[in-house]
A and B are shown apart, each in its own frame.
Chain A
Amino acid sequence: MFQLEHVSHRYDEGDGRGREALKDVSLSIARGEFVAVIGHNGSGKSTLAKHLNALLLPTEGRVLVNGMDTRESANLWAIRQSAGMVFQNPDNQIVATAVEEDVAFGPENLGVPPAEIRRRVDEALAIVGMSEFRRSAPHLLSGGQKQRIAIAGVLAMRPEALILDEPTAMLDPSGRREVLETVVRLNREEGITIVYITHFMEEAVRAGRVVVMDGGRVVLDGPPREVFARAAELRRLGLDVPQVTELALALRERGIDLPAGILTAEELVAELCRYESLT
């Protein structure tokens, strides 16, 4: 789906030198993957995400989306349609005064026929579980609901991939749960490729693969179990591990024989039971 080949990106800061936000990044994301991207502020996460749908173009190297080079302006529409983007602040992404009009905005601009728009809007709202709100005013919805509307707006474009840049940063706990569960479902049931940028480690755990960025480079890349087993390294990078993983590591240090990379409460409870039955 996405192929980054030796991608570097330098922001022009008007001083002739610029700031290099991505340094020789090579990364391949297959169709249907759920990839979480973590890293401290300024590590290059958002710059990376913006390369995936040609919002930014590489200074060096190239990005292919379904084989289309993002530097070719003729590919722009096809790329943006196959890879939709959702940002941090839902209020900046909603344009219309009724939910269904907002969701219809994208396909309308694509010149999709009205009957087809109707179908897509209904379908997109059903997928994010917001059908009953289709005539509501977006500004009266909760943060989590607004963010689901923003996601529906992208889904109505029928993208193959969804890129989400800290979609839960501004939400309360229930809003965070709503959005994350929606994204997990989109990946599992609709087969949509997900690239999910987050500062919440317990969200990254839900992905199939975690990419860790630091200083514009990819420094770790693997399944969550392997990445979060390297707690000391993550802390050095200004990151964290989920509380349950931290607890399991602390118990290991105190002599309780547990496997590395425990990610969820269920797993740790099961492993502690196993430990007890063996000792």
Chain B
Amino acid sequence: MPIRVVDVSYTYQPGTPFAATALKGINLTINEGEFLGLIGHTGSGKSTLIQHLNGLLVPTEGQVLVDGVDTRVRATRRAIRQKVGLVFQYPEHQLFEETVAKDVGFGPRNLGLTEDEVEERVEEALAMVGLDAAKYGPRSPFDLSGGEMRRVAIAGVLAMRPQYLVLDEPTAGLDPRGRDEILGELADLHKRLGLTVILVSHSMEDVARLVDRLVVLHRGRVAAEGKPRELFQRAEELKRLGLGIPQITEFMRRFSELHPGARTDILTVEEAVEEILRHLRRRGHA
């Protein structure tokens, strides 16, 4: 079952002089098992939209249906929050327990699960983010590195066994290794467990190599949509929207100007290597 966003508009502080419309007539279907990237400049409505996906915000107009259930129905909101896990920006700021195990187990414990079940969930969730429960469980979350803290925070959401995982810039401020670890784990969760992942990111390089489909928000509307390989061919349009294209795609555009016939729909360094070699070989240079 999908998440369906139907004609959704959202206004902050409606009816006051401070009213600000953040979403305008958004239509979007997120299919189960999909890895979706959500991009757009600051203030484009990304954060407002993702808070609609688990009912933290409900539309001023239109509706959001999670597996067919309307998020405006108060009685089902709890079930929806469990189904759609939301990881905020800098989620490690929300760690608060004495130990990693307690922090990750907080949600499951609130569900009224037995201690054995909680423990099982904690182990499972920590393993999903590449942390060994025996080693990390007893430690204070505040003694960990920035990347580890963030993974613990993500584990806290995974411990609720969501079907959909929504992450708001999960790699902001992390070093390259921390970033690669988290993105690698997300790709793995998506592939191995079929988890639906919705990733908000400012890194065109990251979304290029990870997601199945990209949605571009601009001033509260869906401004463009498509597979990364197709969308990143529209460089001028993306730049106008305050975004860009991956460095490697930009390079291939320049390369093709001097080497007509070279492909420009390249998303990774590996693909670029093969394309350049193919091109040089064809001309008898390699």
Alpha-carbon distance between A239 and B174 when the two chains are bound, in angstroms: 11
Q: Which residues of A contact B270 (CB under 8 A)?
A: 250
Q: How many A-B residue pairs have CB under 8 A?
A: 116
Interface status of A16 (Cβ within 8 A of chain B): no
What mask results when residues 215 to 247 of chain A are scored 1 for a CB within 8 Å of chain B, else 0? Answer: 000000000000000000000001110111011
Interface status of A171 (Cβ within 8 A of chain B): yes
What mask results when residues 167 to 199 of chain A are scored 1 for a CB within 8 Å of chain B, else 0? Answer: 001111111110000000000000000000001
Q: Please tell me which one of the listed residues B175, B202, B246 contacts residue A238 in the complex, with CB atoms under 8 A apart.
A: B175
What mask results when residues 145 to 184 of chain B are scored 1 for a CB within 8 Å of chain A, else 0? Answer: 1110000000000000000000000001111111100000
**Which chain B residues in 40-62 approach chain A with CB under 8 Å?**
40-43
Interface status of A115 (Cβ within 8 A of chain B): no
Interface status of A80 (Cβ within 8 A of chain B): no
Would you call B176 and A199 a contact (CB within 8 A)? yes
Would you call B276 and A170 a contact (CB within 8 A)? no
Find the A residue at minimum CB distance from B286: A256
What mask results when residues 12 to 29 of chain A are scored 1 for a CB within 8 Å of chain B, else 0? Answer: 000000000000000000
Q: Please tell me which one of the listed residues B172, B246, B258, B276 contacts residue A169 in the complex, with CB atoms under 8 A apart.
A: B172
Given contacts A41-B178, A276-B283, A279-B285, contact A173 B173 (CB under 8 A): no
Would you call B258 and A273 a contact (CB within 8 A)? yes
B145 to chain A, nearest CB (A): 5
Q: For the complex, would chain B's binding face be called helix, strand, loop or mixed by DSSP majority?
A: helix
Stretch of A123-131, A149-157, A262-270 contacting B (4+ beta carbons < 8 Å): A262-270
- The number of chain B residues with a CB under 8 A from chain A is 40
Would you call A174 and B247 a contact (CB within 8 A)? no
- The number of chain A residues with a CB under 8 A from chain B is 43
What mask results when residues 114 to 134 of chain A are scored 1 for a CB within 8 Å of chain B, else 0? Answer: 000000000000000000000
**Which chain B residues in 233-279 approach chain A with CB under 8 Å?**
239, 242-244, 246-248, 250-251, 254-255, 258, 269-270, 272-273, 276-277
Find the B residue at minimum CB distance from A264: B251
**Which chain A residues in 52-92 approach chain B with CB under 8 Å?**
88
Apart from the given pairs A176-B202, A265-B247, 11 other A-B contacts in the complex at a CB distance below 8 Å: A40-B177, A142-B42, A199-B176, A238-B177, A240-B176, A244-B247, A244-B248, A250-B270, A256-B280, A268-B251, A279-B285
- Residues on A lying within 8 angstroms of B by beta carbon are 39-42, 88, 142-144, 166, 169-177, 199, 201-202, 238-240, 242-244, 246-247, 250-251, 254-256, 265-266, 268-269, 272-273, 275-276, 279
A selection of 30 A-B contacts at a CB cut-off of 8 Å is A41-B145, A41-B146, A41-B175, A42-B146, A142-B41, A169-B172, A169-B173, A171-B42, A173-B244, A175-B41, A176-B202, A177-B244, A238-B177, A242-B247, A243-B269, A244-B247, A244-B248, A247-B248, A250-B273, A251-B276, A256-B277, A265-B247, A265-B251, A268-B251, A268-B255, A269-B251, A269-B255, A273-B258, A275-B285, A276-B280
9 closest A-B pairs by CB: A238-B177, A240-B176, A174-B242, A40-B175, A243-B247, A173-B244, A265-B251, A41-B146, A172-B41
